[in-house]
Amino acid sequence: MSYRGLAKGNTIELDVPLPFPEGQALRVTVTPLFSTSAGRGSPQALRQAMHRPPHLSAADIAELEAAIEQGKLPLANACVLNERP
């Protein structure tokens, strides 16, 4: 059987109750649901990179936002879903 849960100190809180009576001895094998290593491009790696130098200045952020705005393409058809034949 496989269950999902969260580690809390030295206990594991499961999402659903176990189908065993209270006090039943169990063998438990624990494996992480998600890898904790920060692989290249992973959300963990991005968060770690955000907290390491070099940090962006306000001017850097403004330049990035301006470049994003300049790179936006106009919509070909503004709203064709609301048109009636």
Tens of pLDDT, residue by residue over 23-70, are 999 998 888 776 656 677 777 778 778 788 888 888 998 999 999 999
Answer whether 34's CB lies under 8 Å from 43's CB: no
**Is the whole model's pTM more than 0.85, yes or no?**
no
- pLDDT at residue 82, rounded to an integer: 64
Residue-level pLDDT at 54:
82
Element (H, E) at 43: helix 43-50
Could you state, in order of their start, the residue ranges of all structural domains in the chain? 5-69
pLDDT category of residue 79 using cuts at 50, 70 and 90: low
Distance from C-alpha of 56 to C-alpha of 62, rounded to nearest angstrom: 10
Confidence band for 9, pLDDT divided at 50, 70 and 90 = confident
